[in-house]
A and B are shown apart, each in its own frame.
Chain A
Amino acid sequence: MEQYIVEMRNIVKRFPEVLANDHITFKVKAGEVHALLGENGAGKTTLMNILYGIYSADEGEIYINGRKVQISSPRDAINLGIGMVHQHFMLIDTLTVLENIALSLEIPFWKPLDKIRIKVEEVMKRYGLKVDLDAKIWQLSTGEKQRVEIIKIICRGAQILILDEPTSVLTPTETKELFKFLRKMASEGKAIIFVTHKLKEVMEVSDRVTVLRKGKVIATLETSETNERMLAKMMVGRDVIFELEKAPSIIGDPILKVEKLRVLNDRGTIAVKDVSFTVHSGEIYGIAGVAGNGQKELVEAIVGLRRKISGKIFINGIEIEKLNPRDIGEMEIAFIPEDRRMGYIPNMSVAENLILRSYNKAPFSKWMLLNYNAIKEYAQKLIDEYKIVTPNENVMAKLLSGGNLQRMILARELTIGKKLIIAVHPTYGLDVGSTEYVRKLLLKRRNEGSAVLLISEDLDEILALSDRIAVMFEGEIIGEVEAEKANIEKIGLMMAGVKEGE
Chain B
Amino acid sequence: MVIKIRFERRVSPPKYLSILYVIISILSAFFVSGFIFKAYGINPILAYRIIFTHAYGSPSGIYETIVKAIPLILCSVGLSLAFKAEMWNIGAEGQLLLGAIMATGLALFTPTPPSIIVPVMFIGGFMAGALWAVIPAILKVLLNVNEVITTMMMNYIAIELVRYLIYGPWRGSKEWGYPITDEIPDAAKLICIPGTRIHIPTLAIAISTAFIVYLIIMRTTLGYEIRVAGENPEAARYAGISYLKISILSMIISGGLAGIAGVGEIAGIHYRLRYPESISMGYGFTSIIVAWLGRLNPISIIIASIFFGGLLVGGYVMKMILGLPVAVVYVFNGITLMFILVGGVLSQYKIKLRG
Contact = CB atoms under 8 A, between A and B. Distances in A.
B228 A345 contact: yes
A380 interface: no
A347 B295 CA distance: 14
Contacts of A325: 237-240
Interface in B197-240: 219-224, 227-228, 231-232, 234-235, 237-240
A111 interface: no
Contacts of A327: 240
Which of B11, B222, B354 is the most central at the interface, judged by chain A CB atoms within 10 Å of its CB?
A: B11
B275 to A, nearest CB: 42
Contacts of A339: 234
Given A16-B11, A325-B238, A356 B221 contact: no
A356 B228 contact: yes
B15 interface: no
B186 interface: no
A390 interface: no
Interface in A322-378: 324-328, 335, 337, 339, 341-348, 352, 356-357, 359-360, 365, 368-370, 372
Interface in A1-39: 15-16
B6 interface: yes
B222 A347 contact: no
B8 interface: yes
B231 A346 contact: yes
A326 B6 contact: no
Contact of A399 (B6, B11, B224, B237): B11
Interface in A113-153: none
B144 interface: no
Contact of B220 (A15, A326, A369): A369
A72 B6 contact: yes
Contacts of B174: none
Contact of A396 (B8, B12, B219, B234): B12
A171 B235 CA distance: 27
Contact of B235 (A73, A343, A396): A343
Interface string B234-254: 110111100000000000000
Contacts of A396: 12
Contacts, number: 78
A368 B228 CA distance: 15
A335 B235 CA distance: 12
A72 B221 contact: no
B146 to A, nearest CB: 16
A56 B220 contact: no
Contact of A370 (B8, B12, B224, B234): B224
Interface residues of A, number: 37
Interface residues of B, number: 23
A357 B239 contact: yes
A342 B12 contact: no
Given A347-B231, A356-B228, A368 B238 contact: no
Given A15-B11, A341-B234, A344-B235, A365 B221 contact: yes
A326 B8 CA distance: 40
A360 B221 contact: yes
Given A325-B240, A342-B238, A368-B222, A16 B231 contact: no
Given A16-B11, A325-B240, A368 B221 contact: yes
B219 A356 contact: no
Interface string A64-101: 00000010110000000000000000000000000000
Interface string A165-181: 00000000000000000
Contacts of B8: 55-56
B221 to A, nearest CB: 5
Nearest to A20: B11
Nearest to B352: A56
B3 to A, nearest CB: 11
Interface in B1-41: 4, 6, 8, 11-12
A326 B232 contact: no
A305 interface: yes
B221 A370 contact: yes
Contacts of A304: 240
Contact of B231 (A324, A348, A360): A348
Given A56-B352, A365-B221, A399-B12, A346 B6 contact: no
13 contacts: A15-B11, A55-B8, A304-B240, A305-B238, A326-B240, A345-B232, A348-B227, A348-B228, A359-B221, A369-B220, A370-B221, A396-B12, A399-B12
Given A342-B235, A343-B238, 11 more contacts: A56-B6, A56-B8, A72-B4, A325-B238, A325-B240, A335-B238, A346-B232, A348-B228, A356-B235, A365-B220, A399-B12
